[in-house]
Structure 1
Amino acid sequence: MVMAWKSRTRSLQVFDTEQSADTVEWCPVSPNHNILVCGTYQLQKGAGVEDATQSRTGRLYLFDFRREESMSPPLTELQRMDTPAILDLKWCHVPVLGKAMLGTAAATGELQLYTMSDGQEGSCSLQTLSSLEVGAERLALSLDWSTGRMDSSSDVRLVCSDSAGCVSVLSLAEGALTALSQWKAHDFEAWISAFSYWDTQLVYSGGDDCKLKGWDLRVGPSCPTWTSKKHSMGVCSIHSSPHREHILATGSYDEQVLLWDGRNMRQPISQSAMGGGVWRLKWHPTYQHLLLAACMHNDFHILDCQQALEGSGSCSVVASYILHNSLAYGADWSRLSLENPAPCSTPAAEPKESLAESGGGGHLKIQYESPTASFDTSLEDDTGRYIPEGIPSLSSYTAAAPVLKPDRDAPSLSCLLASCSFYDNMLHVWRWDWTPDEAQQESEQH
């Protein structure tokens, strides 16, 4: 008998970012797994009718997540910094000079670096360290660090893509960025660039020319080592698996997630339709088969890629988070442990229900940080449970048991995530629980 599992997503808190939110990431460096950053991108149009100038402004938020006090919201804003518009941000996976380091890709064509320092009473703050312009009159669109396998190597590098179709590789030494190489990689915007975390001399890039390309830095960037046209629209997401060598996930405006074996880029090993352009993909930091997808017009989804990686089908959606009201752009997993059960329902902090919730009452209640924020709560059944449009039966998702790493086998899985959406200026923090469906098992036994 295949064990049935029940999947449930629940909103923990919603924060109004005041500007269009497009990128979020939890800090991967211990002991700062409770730290979350969010970047925004706001287009300011010229005042006059014939004024064609447009400025892009942004903001960088720093948050602390604490679960100890169940009566208060778990997310605390520690800092906000006005910056150029931010298109992407990523933490270096390992400490640099003894500190957590954050990189941002800005609309000014700059890569900007920040270090995190501990302040009084355990509070943290970001300080500007350095910046480097990768090119004039272009937007820096993405960045990735070479440290995805958490190796504390002295060779820390970044790769960046930009709106001129170029890819840049930079080294980091003593807190300063140095450009190693830059080349024209795509005919239009190079939406995404990423390292192979297993061989950091290999770089991947994707562009609005619908091409996915691989580059070997040892050979030089005069021509790619391979070019794929399996995506039918612009390629905007790439993430190398930190768990399995050669495995690569890519996403595109064509609404497909493709999984690849880097040793054979002629054909993907799986293809999964997501119903929305796949702007970001993130492998889970410890569970090797789980992949998080931000799908623009079709919300956020957690994929179980076990069968796909075994060559026997596509990825299956095991959970969805549908409470955003705008373009699903930024998403990330936290490394914080949520092994303790969720706080019990109280009048002041009632648990939030989602599409994957079955049984029990409880109204959907979301903690907004801004009094001007609104949420359409008309889609509820008689007991107050949230009923999304176009989704028939809202009993819990069931799926085969997840394949957990041997040293982390557990009877259930609980994850903390963050996501953000564009035009409604929203950052959401939420949890996903994947537990054995005891009710279904009992019915199968009788």
Structure 2
Amino acid sequence: MGWQSRTRTLQVFDTELSADTVEWCPLPQWSHVLACGTYQLQKGDDKQTAEDSTAPSRIGRLYLFDCNPQPSFIPPLTETQRIDTPAVLDLKWCHVPISERPLLGMATASGEIQLYKLMESQQGTCVLECELSTELGPDRLALSLDWSTGRGESSDVRVVCSDSSGSLTALSLGEASLTAVCQWKAHDFEAWISAFSYWDTQIVYSGGDDCKLKGWDLRMGPSSPSFTSKRHTMGVCSIHSNPHREHILATGSYDENLLLWDGRNMKQPLSETAVGGGVWRLKWHPSQEHLLLAACMHNDFHILHCQKAMEGQDAPCPVLASYILHNSLAYGADWSRLPLSNSTPPSPQEPPQTSVGLTESGGHLRIQYESPTGSFDTSLEDDSGRYIPDQCSLPEKSSIPDPFTSPARDSQSLSCLMATCSFYDHMMHVWRWDWSPEEQQKPSEPAPSS
């Protein structure tokens, strides 16, 4: 059975400063909450002294949004808060509530890990309040962080982070403290990424600009890595442990390759997929163990299906859909856990997006600004500038092979909400992906006349 794959832009938001990280809250009660972080290198002041000019100013802003993706409410995002901060390099929500509230971790250019608690304001909206912070050390940028709670385990909550000095820091979260348990030199240059194994949270992975992927067993101490891989040929900048399938690890690099690994054998990857751009972020789907979202810097955002690779068939992961409407470096990407109806919402937005299994042509994307909110929507026009309504029939669709091997899953449809952001154009997009079986014509029905 063939499958249809379709992506649709729901809203675009101008973050003003360069956007590099975006995260949906993973907790069911707060899954409508979205956070976005920005990073801006300030140009030097002409009046600065030579000494001052050696320390560029990096500023940022943390945005908080409320999302209502129901078809009757367009656009779906409402900005509820913005906080000026040091430049933001990474954001991650804790996967479990802390003191019954969501907790957001932020890695900043000031070398701090800051934790924000999500609260309800007097107006009934959600707002963030700074709860805790800790400095990693002088003269360094915090580049990434990850929580040990990826599989929903709430005991012994810890954070691991990486920084521009090549160091990793493991931190323990107490009732009123975020305390460094250990810090060690892990890479020769920038340690771009750090991540827990969600199945054994004493295991930490890291990737650096020295082109090395390393593993660390915190029980053995950080004096030497449990493995070092040089399989990537450029800096390793993304790692994500699969929360649904034990031992499965995804890594990405500036070398434009996505590698899947079995953590029990780090000498050789399970598969290698060329994605055409540096792989800055990787995110496994919240519930579908085979689906992986990749932010590919110079080559947009892609959803890959990893089933065959995970089964050891040594095959590249096919791309099920691509989102190509950003005009700059594809950096931040995340899946939402908000439930969506399988039916496509009746909205005028119809971006001329192409993805595997669906080709849409004959239209031009028109940006419809909504000043002064900084957000805007999109619609489709033909060559003469006439609006193309959503109900119009689309060009003929080609089928993509059914990636599932289980017949019981052939009839399942999937609708997902995503947020992505890009750097120099300072844009955040919210979009949906619908994936459904190709409708088969019943044998009893006559073929349509041409």
Q: When the two structures are superposed, what TM-score results if normalisation uses the length of structure 2? A: 0.89
- Asked whether the 8 Å contact 1:295–1:301 carries over to 2, the reply is yes
Query: Which amino acid is the alignment partner of residue 263 of structure 2?
Result: G
Q: Say whether the 8 Å CA contact 1:362–1:384 is kept in structure 2.
A: no
1:56/1:329 Cα in 2 relative to 1: closer, same or farther (>3 Å)? Answer: same
* CA-to-aligned-CA distance 1:99-125 (integer Å, 9 cap, x gap): 000000000000000000122454100
User: Residue by residue, what CA displacement relative to the aligned partner does 1:156-210 show, whole Å, maximum 9, x if unpaired?
Assistant: 0000000000000000011310000000000000000000000000000000000
User: Does 1:354 pair with 2:356?
Assistant: no
Secondary structure of 1:307's counterpart equals helix
* Correspondence 1:58-97 to 2 at 5 A: 58-68=60-70, 70=72, 72-97=74-99
- Change over 3 Å in CA distance of 1:25–1:427 after alignment to 2: same
Alpha-carbon spacing, 1:176–1:297, altered in 2? closer, same or farther (3 Å): same
Contact 1:321 1:354 in 2 (8 A): yes
Instruction: Judge conservation of contact 2:379–2:387 (CA < 8 Å) in 1.
Output: no
- Cα distance in 2 for partners of 1:265, 1:405 equals 33
| Counterpart selection for 1:117 from 111, 116, 119 | 119
2:11–2:378 CA contact under 8 A, matched in 1: no
Match of 2:205 in 1: 204
Q: Which moved more, 1:120-129 or 1:172-181?
A: 120-129
> Which residue in the other structure is 1:389 paired with?
none
Gaps of 5+ in 2: 389-394
Q: Following the alignment from structure 1 to structure 2, what is the Cα–Cα distance between the partners of residues 330 and 245?
A: 25
DSSP-derived class of the 1:141 partner: strand
Are the counterparts in 1 of residues 349 and 379 from structure 2 also a CA contact under 8 Å? no
Aligned residue among 339, 342, 345 for 2:344: 342
Query: Which residue is 1:4 aligned to?
Result: 2
Partner of 1:250: 251
Q: Structure 1 pair 135/75, CA: closer, same or farther in 2 (3 Å)?
A: same
Cα distance in structure 1, aligned partners of 2:14 and 2:351? 18
> What's the offset of the Cα at 1:363?
5.5
| Unmatched runs of 5 consecutive residues or more in structure 1 | 387-392
Q: What's 1:292 paired with?
A: 293
CA contact 1:12–1:366 (8 Å) conserved in 2: no
Q: Which one-letter code corresponds to 1:260 in the other structure?
A: W
Aligned length: 431
Which AA in structure 1 matches 2:279?
V
Q: Deviations over 1:274-307 (max 9, x none)?
A: 0000000000010000000000000000000011
Q: Would you say the 8 A contact 1:15–1:370 is kept in 2?
A: no
Please state whether the residue corresponding to 1:398 is helix, strand or coil. Answer: coil
| Equivalent residues in 2 for 1:92-241, closer than 5 Å | 92-120=94-122, 122-153=124-155, 155-241=156-242
What is residue 41 of structure 2 aligned with on the other side? 43
| Structure 2 Cα separation of the partners of residues 441 and 128 of structure 1 | 59
Q: 1:314 aligns with which of 316, 319, 322?
A: 316
Residue 85 of structure 2: SS of its match in structure 1?
strand
Separation in 2, partners of 1:254, 1:106? 25
Counterpart residue identity of residue 94, structure 2 = C
Deviation at 1:40, TM superposition (A): 0.2
- With 360-369 and 81-90 compared, the bigger mean Cα shift is at 360-369
The structure 1 residue matched to 2:26, chosen from 25, 28, 43, is 28
Pick closer, same or farther for the CA change 1:140–1:379 going to 2, 3 Å: farther
SS, match of residue 31 in structure 1 = helix
Cα contact 1:364–1:385 (8 A) shared by 2: no
Pairs within 5 Å for 1:243-282: 243-282=244-283
TM-score, reference length from structure 1: 0.90
**Corresponding position of 2:13:** 15
